Structure 1
Amino acid sequence: MLTIGQLAAYAGVTARTVRHYHQIGLLPEPERDDSGYRRYGAKAVVSLIKIRTLANAGVPLSQVGPLLEAEPAAFADALQRIDRDLRDEIDRLETSRKQIAQLTTGDTLALPSDVLHYLDRLREIGASERMIDGEREGWILVAARWPDQIPEVMAGKLAQLDDPHHVRLYRLLSEIIDSDPVDDRLLEEAADIMANLAEQAFAAGELNFEEMAQDEVAVGLLDGLLLESDPRAGRMLELMRERGWVGWTRLERLDAPCQR
Structure 2
Amino acid sequence: MAAVLTIGQLARHVGVSTKTVRVYHGKGLLPEPERDASGYRRYTAWHAVELIKIRTLAEAGVPLARIKTLAEASPEEFRRTLEQVELDLTTRIRRLRETRDRLRRLESRHDLPAEVTAHLEALPRLGFTGRWTAMETDLWILVFATRPDIAPALFHDQAESLTRPELLSLYLEYDRAHDLDPADPALDDLAERIVTATRNRYGDGELPGPDAGSEIPGLIQGAINAESPAWRRLDQLIRRRLG
Given the two structures, how large is their TM-score scaled by the length of structure 2?
0.60
Conserved in 2, the CA contact under 8 Å of 1:134 and 1:229? no
Deviates more, 1:166-175 or 1:80-89: 166-175
Q: 2-side partners of 1:251 and 1:74: how far apart?
A: 62
Deviates more, 1:221-230 or 1:91-100: 221-230
Q: 1-side partners of 2:133 and 2:197: how far apart?
A: 25
Residue in structure 1 matched with residue 42 of structure 2 by the alignment: 40
Structure 2 residue corresponding to 1:18, chosen from 18, 21, 25: 21
Query: SS of the counterpart of 1:69?
Result: coil
Query: SS of the counterpart of 1:95?
Result: helix
Note the 1:93-242 alignment, pairs <5 A.
93-105=96-108, 121=119, 123-126=121-124, 127-132=128-133, 134=135, 154-175=155-176, 177=178, 199=196, 204=200, 206=202, 210=206, 228-233=226-231
- The verdict on how the C-alpha distance between 1:97 and 1:139 changes in structure 2, with shifts beyond 3 A counting, is closer
Structure 2 alignment gaps of length 5 or more: none
AA paired with 2:108?
T
Give the number of the structure with larger relative contact order, counting CA–CA contacts within 8 Å between residues 6 or more apart.
2
Conserved in 2, the CA contact under 8 Å of 1:4 and 1:39? yes
Q: 2-side partners of 1:156 and 1:137: how far apart?
A: 18
- How many residue pairs are counted as aligned between the two chains? 224
Conserved in 2, the CA contact under 8 Å of 1:207 and 1:251? no
AA paired with 1:52?
I
Residue in structure 1 matched with residue 72 of structure 2 by the alignment: 69
Conserved in 1, the CA contact under 8 Å of 2:192 and 2:241? no
Residue in structure 2 matched with residue 243 of structure 1 by the alignment: none
Q: 2-side partners of 1:160 and 1:154: how far apart?
A: 10
Query: SS of the counterpart of 1:247?
Result: helix
Query: SS of the counterpart of 1:97?
Result: helix
Q: 2-side partners of 1:132 and 1:122: how far apart?
A: 6
Q: 2-side partners of 1:8 and 1:224: how far apart?
A: 50
Structure 1 alignment gaps of length 5 or more: 238-245, 253-260
Q: How much identity, in percent, do the aligned residues show?
A: 27
Conserved in 2, the CA contact under 8 Å of 1:191 and 1:236? yes
Given the two structures, how large is their TM-score scaled by the length of structure 1?
0.57
Q: 1-side partners of 2:141 and 2:121: how far apart?
A: 18
AA paired with 2:167?
H
Residue in structure 2 matched with residue 241 of structure 1 by the alignment: none
Q: 1-side partners of 2:133 and 2:91: how far apart?
A: 38
Task: Please tell me whether residue 248 in structure 1 is matched to residue 238 in structure 2.
Answer: yes
Query: SS of the counterpart of 2:84?
Result: helix
